[in-house]
Structure 1
Amino acid sequence: MTGASTSRQDLPVGANPFSRRAVLAIVLIGGALLLALLWMVGTGAGMGSINDGQAQVGSKGLTGYAAMADYLERRGYALRRVRNEGALNAPGLLVLTPPPFADGKAIEKIVAAHRHTGPTLVIGPKWVESRPQADEKAVKTGWVRLSGTQAPTWKNFLDEVTVAIGPISRGQTANWRGMGISGSLPDRRAVLSGRGGDLVPLIVASDGRVLAAFLDDGGSYSGLEKLAARRPTLEVQDERLQPLIIVFEPDLLNNYGMARPQSAELAERLVRAAGVSPGGPVLFDLTLNGLGQSANLLTLAFTPPFLAATLCLLLAAVVTGWRAFLRFGPPFMPDRAIAFGKLALVANAAGLMRRSGRLHLLANPYADRARERLAQALALPSALDVEAAGHAIDRALASRRPDAEPFTALVERLKAARGPHDLLKAARDLHALERMLIR
């Protein structure tokens, strides 16, 4: 078997296979990808979608609250989706959407801790979700099928409050009213309501059942009582204990109910009732729905007081990278102070004369050496003096080139020159004459 041979031109030793621009592009692209990876690790982005069909803020199914969150964001509220338990005590309205069988002690712990820093809104669960069949068409990610209802059983959280699920009677319309607005429920067959001695109703159904209320547990909530009587804003007098609002019927605020404009208006009124104005923080909890994440070292690195050390390290990395970029390529061999060879010797001597400013002193020696070389080439007697040798060279030049400038005239012009330009021109003319006669 025979094949065609290929040849390649090897790179010289010490040559760089990449240009400076190519290496700079590689470094910048690699740095951007590293920063993107660090951001994804720190924020949890790209680590799995939270659109899982549950009754939580990231879900786009009927029971989720993605529509409510999107509406509040568009209305100017600073909305955060919290996946770290340590961030639940941040100022702002905390919205909890626990599942039916969540740990009541965990809910009580979160609510009790947050009410010292901000209001809390708890939305109860009702629906039992199931995933659509695989062969169903036009089904999007996160969509669910409502297969039943289940009242929450949160033991050790608001044990004095009882909840119940029941239909709206046939003689009643499936409507709700309160806080100055009214609307309709998407499903009259199963309505979740609550009752208890410490509840002050905010939203009631057409048959009088309490669908949303705030808890009057000893704090001064006269503002909420007035709000329940159609006052648009809330004034909380007890700053030590912030309000706790409970929405028993989830269809008032979930994606199922947010298809109606009255539910969107109700969502904002509840947020304003808690004392949060547009631009204020609203925190949606994801930890109770099993989507929590612990704080990682990367997140801590960008949190005070570690942020200062991180910035110093980044600055040092930038300086090191810049120094490496300037040093890019093979090292240069230092030149010798005195190079080898006649050419280097002449160059060093010429450089010394140029820096000393004594170029005019070169005229006489250069003319004498040119006369000696011409006298030898023309076989002139060695006994001739300088003047006689010059005239003999003039006669030899006149016999060959009558129109050429005489040798003696060139010598006088060379000796009379003072500037570098005139000196160099006279020397070149003399050198050209010498080459013509020697040929």
Structure 2
Amino acid sequence: MSATDRPDRQEDALFSARTVALLLAFGIIGFAGMLVLGAYAPDLRSGQNGGAHALSNAATGYRALVELAEATGRNPRIVRDPHLFNTADLLVVTPESGATNITAALQDRDYKPTLFVLPKWQTKADPEHAGWVQRIGLLPLAEPIGVLAPGVRFTMRRERMADRKLVTVGLPPAVALRSPRILQVITGITAPEPDEDEEETEPLVLRPLVTDGNGGIVLARLGDAQRYVLADPDLISNRGLRTAAQAAAALAMLDALDERPTKGIAFDVSFNGFGHAQSPLKLAFEPPFLAVTITLAAALLLVGLNALARFGPIAPRERAIAYGKAVLVDNSAALVRRAGREAGMGARYAAVVRDRAARVFGAPPRLHDAALVSYLDSLGGAAPFSPLMRDAEQATDRPALLRAARALHAWQATKMER
């Protein structure tokens, strides 16, 4: 067959080597991307569901306040994990109903500033604009009252007011907040009914910081702890910050609640359904475990390159047990050698040679053992048989056994030549 008649394997192949390499590269990149996206998927949720939280662009959301704090260097951040509530920064909690369990925001934060923003509006999604909402009406007062209940239970009211400046108590003049059209205020606090097993404690004092001037409290401090309650969310919501003056007053209020020189603001969204726990997969892409992940990826890459760079055909594996009588003898000898019984084979080999020589040389059948050995000695020759047999029987190691076996074989060959 000529060179032109041989089939071209490259043309007959279903995929070229380049195509296979590209498919493999795209598969590896896609798999790695899927792992990374799976690890960080909770952090990539936009939060544009029209809720009243720090990720929402709706009228009742607080995204504008987060962006203002970012633009003015107040170091805001979104907190999705309740385990991160141990921060010393001001924590802004925005539960959307009285049934939200905010226990995690109350633990170990007596001396860390925490602002609870009470809910106010009932909304529904705007079908014409994604992420926007339409107001249905006001929530029942039981919802804002129930946020801190049963430990703290307020009495509240709502009142219609014109655009009027609210009264501040002990706050900087920059906190010049103006009331919305419908203002939600706290009018008092009711003491919880004591349990029979608990000791009586002093009643919680409600310290007003911003009021409506008519006995209603808009911003209050709960006792001596650094816990604050904002009764009306419209003072800091996206709709409420529609003027520059109101936005500046809202930022000044947040500054007043955190007296530390180095400040930061943590906006919680875990109570709004955007929380997540630490993921082992996410830990693999963050220090200090990121170094281990990179090392493993590099090792896999080197293994793949080594597999691609191999040369020559794949060498077939040899059979564990080959065919033929010679191989059977070799395997039997290997077993004897591994068992360490070679030295004990000398006497048996000498007996085999003796019996074979008796048949070949026609020794009388009545002769056995010593008599048969004497008969073989009488055959003459350069060396008698008995010393050779004795050397084989007395061999204690492999070299001595090998010498005795060769001598017996040579004696037998010499006799047969004669």
- TM-score bracket, normalised by the shorter chain, equals 0.5 to 0.7
Q: Does the 8 Å contact 1:193/1:249 carry over to 2?
A: no
Shift of 1:46: 7.8
**Correspondence list, 1:349-364, <5 A:** none
| Alignment deviations for residues 50-101 of structure 1 (CA, whole Å, 9 cap, x no partner) | 1111111111111111111111122223333222222222342211001232
Note closer, same or farther for the CA distance 1:30–1:311 as it changes in structure 2 (3 Å cut). Answer: farther
- 1:258 corresponds to which letter in structure 2? L
Match of 1:161, SS state, is strand
Q: Does the 8 Å contact 1:174/1:206 carry over to 2?
A: no
Unaligned runs of 5+ in 1: 1-7, 220-242, 335-439
Matched, 1:314 2:294: yes
Shift of 1:264: 2.0
Unaligned runs of 5+ in 2: 1-6, 190-203, 315-418
For residues 274 and 206 of structure 1, the distance between their equivalents in structure 2, rounded to whole angstroms, comes to 21
Shift of 1:11: 0.7
Match of 2:318 in 1: none
- 1:268 corresponds to which letter in structure 2? L
**TM score, norm. by length of structure 2:** 0.58
| Alignment deviations for residues 338-380 of structure 1 (CA, whole Å, 9 cap, x no partner) | xxxxxxxxxxxxxxxxxxxxxxxxxxxxxxxxxxxxxxxxxxx
Identity rate of aligned residues, in percent? 23
Note closer, same or farther for the CA distance 1:265–1:173 as it changes in structure 2 (3 Å cut). Answer: closer
- 1:209 corresponds to which letter in structure 2? G
Cα root mean square deviation, aligned = 3.5
Q: Does the 8 Å contact 1:108/1:156 carry over to 2?
A: no
Note closer, same or farther for the CA distance 1:245–1:30 as it changes in structure 2 (3 Å cut). Answer: farther
Match of 1:143 in 2: 132
For residues 14 and 310 of structure 2, the distance between their equivalents in structure 1, rounded to whole angstroms, comes to 7
Match of 1:141, SS state, is coil
For residues 72 and 30 of structure 2, the distance between their equivalents in structure 1, rounded to whole angstroms, comes to 34
Matched, 1:121 2:120: no
Match of 1:65 in 2: 62
Match of 2:166 in 1: 176
Greater Cα offset, 275-284 or 290-299: 275-284
Q: Which of 203, 211, 226 is 1:204 aligned to?
A: 211
Shift of 1:180: 0.9
Match of 1:257 in 2: 240
Q: Does the 8 Å contact 2:187/2:215 carry over to 1?
A: no
For residues 210 and 221 of structure 2, the distance between their equivalents in structure 1, rounded to whole angstroms, comes to 10
For residues 131 and 333 of structure 1, the distance between their equivalents in structure 2, rounded to whole angstroms, comes to 66
**TM score, norm. by length of structure 1:** 0.56
For residues 319 and 190 of structure 1, the distance between their equivalents in structure 2, rounded to whole angstroms, comes to 64
For residues 301 and 50 of structure 2, the distance between their equivalents in structure 1, rounded to whole angstroms, comes to 47
Q: Does the 8 Å contact 2:158/2:182 carry over to 1?
A: no
Note closer, same or farther for the CA distance 1:25–1:277 as it changes in structure 2 (3 Å cut). Answer: farther
Matched, 1:165 2:158: yes
Match of 1:175, SS state, is coil
Matched, 1:248 2:231: yes
Match of 1:271, SS state, is helix
Note closer, same or farther for the CA distance 1:289–1:30 as it changes in structure 2 (3 Å cut). Answer: same
- 1:18 corresponds to which letter in structure 2? A
Shift of 1:280: 4.1
Q: Does the 8 Å contact 1:124/1:247 carry over to 2?
A: yes
Shift of 1:278: 8.8
What is the number of residues matched between the two proteins?
286
- 2:178 corresponds to which letter in structure 1? S
Shift of 1:126: 0.7
For residues 303 and 54 of structure 1, the distance between their equivalents in structure 2, rounded to whole angstroms, comes to 31
Match of 1:154, SS state, is coil
Q: Does the 8 Å contact 1:82/1:283 carry over to 2?
A: yes
Shift of 1:315: 0.6
Match of 1:288, SS state, is helix
